[in-house]
Chain A
Amino acid sequence: MSGSMSPDGLIIQYDETIEKALNNIVKLLKARYNFSKRMIALLLLQEDEEITQLAKLREADFPQIFSIIQQTKSKYKDPLRYVITLQCRQRTDQILSGVITDSKKETRLQSWLDHITINPITGIPILLIVLYFGLYKFVGEFGAGTLVDLIEGNFFENYINPWVNQVTAKLIPWHSIQTLIAFDYGIITLGLRYAVAIILPIVATFFLAFSLLEDSGYLPRLALLVDRLFKKIGLNGRAVIPITLGFGCDTMATLVSRTLETKRERVIATLLLALAIPCSAQLGVIMALLSANPASLGIWAGFVILVFLLVGYLAAQLMPGEKPAFYMELPPLRLPKLSNILEKTLSRMQWYFLEIIPFFILASVLIWVGKITGLFDAIINAAAPLMYALGLPSEAAEIFLFGFFRRDYGAAGLYDLQNSGALNGVQLVVSAVTLTLFVPCIAQFAIMIKERGWKTGLAIGCFVFAFAFLCGIILNLLLRSLGVTL
């Protein structure tokens, strides 16, 4: 069995200490295994749980073996597993040094590209360029601007909505049922219009941009670039994928956070997504609101980034559990294939439609119920003191209430409020910040509970709720006491 390996032709010659330990352990091993005794000894040295259990049961001399392992361990400051892996790698490099030849031309261009994308000095400007063209220009201006105007401003406003309103008014005699389907908050005129005319173009352009970055191999490089920063907030570079995806749709990002390795990372990522990452729909509306005044936009962005880092840092300090390690393979940069990108984008859009549309309809229905029963008015009245603490008019409560049903409903409500001239500059920034931080939308909340369980999901929800308003109040006090006018 194990004798099939010749004892003299060692595959890997480890350092003296390890070789000595291995030889001593091998001598003590009496049972038969399907692996060579040398491998069993290696696994024992690395404290492999299963093999240790097995040896405990089957080796009379296990106590001696155990003491060899302890002695050997004490001679290294790194874990033995690390030491052994490293020596195995070195042997691999040695074997391959004469075996692999990579033609120089390709590698030089590649390593240059690797270098400039990973090095912070060039990497951060490249990231900003990618964000500017990918997110701001393509998703923000083209998706949220041009396409939304076309579909919602032209198609829905001029054709679908008037037609639906007319038909509903004709066919259904009861006013309350009419408003369920049509008019200001109807399932078709609001719920579906939002889904198809506003969210879909934004999400489609975002997913297109995201798939492009994903297939070009840029994301792993971005992960490496932000790894150090992310480690401070309890995550590692790998989390760049769910976090970036969050700018498209936080609900989908929360689902994707299951790819993170430890429970601790998953909880922190879920928290940060719920709190400080605005989704593309929200981002579009808020950008449109604040971009008229660059100072407002700056305060909003600065404050939200600050909250993101602060909460992440605190969470990393407070949460128990293993610190994340980071190892990610760097695939080569390559030109993405158009067909793959389109396929990915389409399947993501399909997912989005199937998962999210029911929540849109549900949100419309809940808003309808809330309006009809007067529940909303009661909540809005009850929230007046909170609005006062934020320095906002009481109408603003409606925005936050709607914000729960869809983050972007809230943001869009803000848009209406500002158009009516009810908010000054400071109030606008305060409400934009609070709304960005405020509770995730109903769909994201549902996914949070599904993915992280009742206790964690609810705890994150409550924390975000309280913390968003606290931040809003602080920002309001700060801006006012500094006498800022925007």
Chain B
Amino acid sequence: MDKPVTELNKTASKAPSIRKKKKLVLVGTPNVGKSVIFNLLTGTYVVVSNYPGTTVEVARGTGKIGQEVYEVIDTPGMYSLFPITEEERVTRTLLLTEKPDIVIHVVDAKNLERMLPLTLQLLEAGLPVILAVNMMDEAEVLGRTIDLDALAKALNIPVVGTAAAQNRGIDQLKRMVSDFVRKHVA
């Protein structure tokens, strides 16, 4: 009974520490700035291809964060771990089979209340999650303040505020990724 789900999983679960590239997956609903963050994290070499057997596009790139080289994956928009659309199904399959080392959930600060349920679901699935609260600048303009420390405490995961379009908070996000992965491996 104790068979892993896929071949990929087999190699991953046997020797996670030997894998050269760590896998970083960006998830979130459409239009929260995932792709902007993806572009900031990756270099110029990006492959956009259809996910096997679907028409849904998944972008994969490589980026160096701290001392580590990561494979960065930009997933199709997802509202919930309970999929309705083909895009959501692809993203969940990807999370279920590819064994990410780190999952960055990108949310829109203006609509945090609608997006946090997915964070909770990702955590319940036992995934290694960092929460990036994006579009902080727009939320501030609307008169919204978010206590990120309190949120991090409540969720017990790293939380970072960003305004990716202005390149704000990206360095902090990278630092958090490095710290997180170091702690996780150790």
A contact residues vs B (CB 8 Å cutoff): 1-2, 4-5, 9, 11-12, 30-36, 38-39, 42-43, 46, 48, 50, 54, 58-60, 81, 85, 88-89, 91-93, 95-96, 98-103, 105-107, 329, 332
Contact B154 A95 (CB under 8 A): yes
A31-B2, A98-B150, A105-B143 are known contacts. Are A92 and B120 too (CB-CB below 8 A)?
yes
Interface size band for B: 35 or more
| Contact sample, A vs B, 6 pairs, CB 8 Å cutoff | A11-B123, A12-B120, A43-B82, A99-B146, A99-B147, A106-B142
Q: Select the residue from A2, A11, A89, A329 with max chain B CB neighbours within 10 A.
A: A11
How close is B133's CB to chain A, nearest CB, in angstroms?
A: 10
A33-B96, A35-B126 are known contacts. Are A11 and B1 too (CB-CB below 8 A)?
no
Contact A43 B81 (CB under 8 A): yes
List the 3 shortest-distance A-B pairs measured between CB atoms, nearest first.
Answer: A103-B143, A36-B126, A5-B126
How close is B122's CB to chain A, nearest CB, in angstroms?
A: 9
Contact A42 B1 (CB under 8 A): no
State in angstroms the CA–CA spacing of A105 and B143 once bound together. 9
A34-B99, A95-B116, A95-B155 are known contacts. Are A39 and B121 too (CB-CB below 8 A)?
yes
Contact B113 A93 (CB under 8 A): yes
Q: A5-B126, A32-B3, A34-B99 are in contact. List 12 more A-B contacts (CB 8 A).
A: A4-B184, A9-B156, A30-B1, A35-B127, A38-B126, A93-B113, A95-B151, A96-B151, A99-B147, A99-B154, A100-B113, A102-B143
* Chain B residue nearest to A2 in the complex (CB): B126
- When distances are taken between beta carbons in the complex, the residues of chain A under 8 Å from B4 are 32
State in angstroms the CA–CA spacing of A105 and B113 once bound together. 20
Contact B120 A101 (CB under 8 A): no
A4-B128, A35-B125, A85-B117 are known contacts. Are A101 and B145 too (CB-CB below 8 A)?
yes
How close is A260's CB to chain B, nearest CB, in angstroms?
A: 14
State in angstroms the CA–CA spacing of A274 and B164 once bound together. 45
State in angstroms the CA–CA spacing of A466 and B143 once bound together. 57
State in angstroms the CA–CA spacing of A357 and B43 once bound together. 44
Q: Select the residue from A9, A33, A100, A101 with max chain B CB neighbours within 10 A.
A: A100
- When distances are taken between beta carbons in the complex, the residues of chain A under 8 Å from B80 are 85
B contact residues vs A (CB 8 Å cutoff): 1-5, 9, 13, 80-83, 89, 92-93, 95-97, 99, 110-114, 116-117, 120-121, 123-128, 142-147, 150-151, 154-156, 184
Contact A4 B126 (CB under 8 A): yes
Contact B121 A96 (CB under 8 A): no
- When distances are taken between beta carbons in the complex, the residues of chain B under 8 Å from A101 are 144-147
Contact B117 A102 (CB under 8 A): no
State in angstroms the CA–CA spacing of A96 and B13 once bound together. 35
- When distances are taken between beta carbons in the complex, the residues of chain B under 8 Å from A11 are 120, 123-124, 155
- When distances are taken between beta carbons in the complex, the residues of chain A under 8 Å from B127 are 35
State in angstroms the CA–CA spacing of A33 and B89 once bound together. 17
A34-B99, A38-B124, A106-B143 are known contacts. Are A60 and B1 too (CB-CB below 8 A)?
yes
How close is A452's CB to chain B, nearest CB, in angstroms?
A: 21
Contact B125 A329 (CB under 8 A): no
State in angstroms the CA–CA spacing of A93 and B113 once bound together. 7
How close is B90's CB to chain A, nearest CB, in angstroms?
A: 12
- When distances are taken between beta carbons in the complex, the residues of chain B under 8 Å from A50 are 83, 89, 92-93
**Which of B1, B116, B124 touches A96 (beta carbons < 8 Å)?**
B116
A34-B97, A85-B117 are known contacts. Are A58 and B1 too (CB-CB below 8 A)?
yes
- When distances are taken between beta carbons in the complex, the residues of chain A under 8 Å from B123 are 5, 11
State in angstroms the CA–CA spacing of A102 and B127 once bound together. 31
A91-B120, A98-B150, A106-B143 are known contacts. Are A39 and B1 too (CB-CB below 8 A)?
no
How close is B167's CB to chain A, nearest CB, in angstroms?
A: 22
* Chain A residue nearest to B3 in the complex (CB): A31
* Chain B residue nearest to A89 in the complex (CB): B117
A34-B5, A36-B126, A58-B3 are known contacts. Are A88 and B155 too (CB-CB below 8 A)?
no
How close is B140's CB to chain A, nearest CB, in angstroms?
A: 10
State in angstroms the CA–CA spacing of A329 and B159 once bound together. 25
A30-B1, A34-B99, A101-B145 are known contacts. Are A329 and B111 too (CB-CB below 8 A)?
yes
